[in-house]
Chain A
Amino acid sequence: MSLNKRTERRLYLRFALILAAVCGMLLSEACGVRSDMQDQPRYDAYEKSDFFSDGRSSRDYPEGTVARGHLEDNKAFFTGKIDNPDPNAQAATSTDANGNTVVASFPNAITEFPLPVTKELIDRGEDRYKIYCMVCHGQFGDGDGMVVRRGFPQPPTYHDDRLRNAPVGHFFDVITNGWGKMNPYGYQVQAADRWAIVAYIRALQLSRNPDSNLKMTSTANSNTAAPVPAKPETPAANAATNRGGTR
């Protein structure tokens, strides 16, 4: 009898404890209490850091760091320039219809693609062109993109003799380092994608002048793969070359 009673009391106690726990959980949930699991002591991409004085959890690389796959020893592929560029080479300039000074010769720029030009490359280039270039240069390269219509200084068209005769390395260099009012896009677009865009620009030029002697020649054997395939750019890699952008 007494044993039964003790068991009974223990049961009641257990029930009361469970009830209290459930009520507590419901209450804390309803109040929006967040637990440690939700806010763990690690950083998400772009998260604010209280540890570093500039408040960024995405840190710059220490100077001289070379990330795997970023040795960039293929000069032609990563700069669009010839192997031993002449630092004293001066580009010839001329004046265009709007009175702007434009270059007419392109010393040191490579004239052939350093990777095989395939349909895939041009398709990729079209895709990337429509993301990064079309806003200013327009769908067909006439320099009449939406941002230009909003008042951005108009870039030159691709469809004149000067740029038709420009070597591919020049386009690559301009995308990478910017030109005039155009900011550098090297940090936004990977090198392989920049070459894809150059290939697409050539295709656009050819589309208007199929009879011209423009050629999409490549120094790379089409049997060998491109030197470096498009590699994902990590937020950390981004931070190394960028200004701003935490959180």
Chain B
Amino acid sequence: MAQIFRKSANNIAKISMVTVVLLAGVGFYAWTQLARSSYLTGQYLEIQQPVQFSHKHHVADDGIDCRYCHQTVETTASAGMPSTQTCMNCHSQLWADAPYLEPIRASFRDNKPIQWNRVHDLPKYVYFNHSIHIAKGVGCSTCHGPVDKMPLVYEENTLQMEWCIQCHREPEKFIRPKSEVFNMAYRPEDTDQETRDQLKVDYKIRSREMLTSCSTCHR
């Protein structure tokens, strides 16, 4: 009886073994890249809003401080979304008839909140707190990027854990003086490494082991 496989089948078997390993490797790499892509993380994708509120206009053109609207950012976990009354502080007078702002006026008239679409949506198993980051010298733009240049806000960073953890491992590479936290014109090179190392001590930022402990962020 003749052999089912010819001798050349040995080579085919060997090649296919290598190919399977290679394909698995390529597939795995492709998956890691896909998981980090803005298609899945939403990074850089502008989120449409019920009112096309422009941070670029209000922050860069008008020079309004972040905290005028995000009042609780220094004291609570949530940065705080402005109530419609905050909008009306100016827009009761400015552009008071603009059709563009009708959703704001309707919200104020009917006492119904505007349903903004969340741009930074963390999974519920992450217990993020704005106030502690502000208190330890993490600037707004360190995480949120150049919001003063964003007509519509997008996510500057992926919010993936690998992104969080790089700062939790080495906060001294990212922190800035507390006086500069809300300064949108601040650049990382404005503070040298030596000063930042000192800031880490002065602001009593905890050890790398503490900051990367699971329960620091997950409870």
Contacts and interface: CB of A to CB of B under 8 A. Distances in A.
Interface of A: 26, 29-30, 32, 37-40, 42, 44-46, 48, 54-56, 130-132, 135, 146-147, 150-153, 181, 183, 185, 187-188, 232-235, 238, 242-247
Contacts, number: 121
A86 B89 CA distance: 30
Given A232-B75, A243-B108, A247-B118, A146 B88 contact: no
Interface residues on B, range: 35 or more
B118 A183 contact: no
9 contacts: A30-B31, A131-B68, A150-B94, A151-B93, A183-B85, A183-B92, A233-B72, A238-B71, A244-B83
A218 to B, nearest CB: 25
A135 B125 contact: no
Interface stretch (B109-117, B156-164, B167-175): B109-117
Given A38-B125, A151-B93, A244-B108, A48 B115 contact: yes
A135 B65 CA distance: 9
Given A232-B75, A234-B76, A235-B78, A244 B65 contact: no
B80 interface: yes
Contact of B93 (A132, A152, A242, A244): A152
A153 B94 CA distance: 9
Which DSSP category, helix, strand, loop or mixed, fits chain A's interface?
loop
B63 interface: yes
Nearest to A54: B112
Q: Which 4 A-B pairs have the closest CB atoms?
A: A244-B84, A232-B75, A242-B83, A45-B78
B83 A243 contact: yes
B31 A247 contact: no
B124 A55 contact: no
B113 A244 contact: yes
B90 interface: yes
Contact of A238 (B31, B80, B84): B80
B62 A246 contact: no
B217 interface: no
Contact of B85 (A37, A130, A235, A243): A243
Contact of B31 (A26, A44, A153): A26
A30 B114 contact: no
B82 A245 contact: yes
Nearest to A234: B76
A131 B78 contact: no
Nearest to A242: B83
Nearest to B69: A188
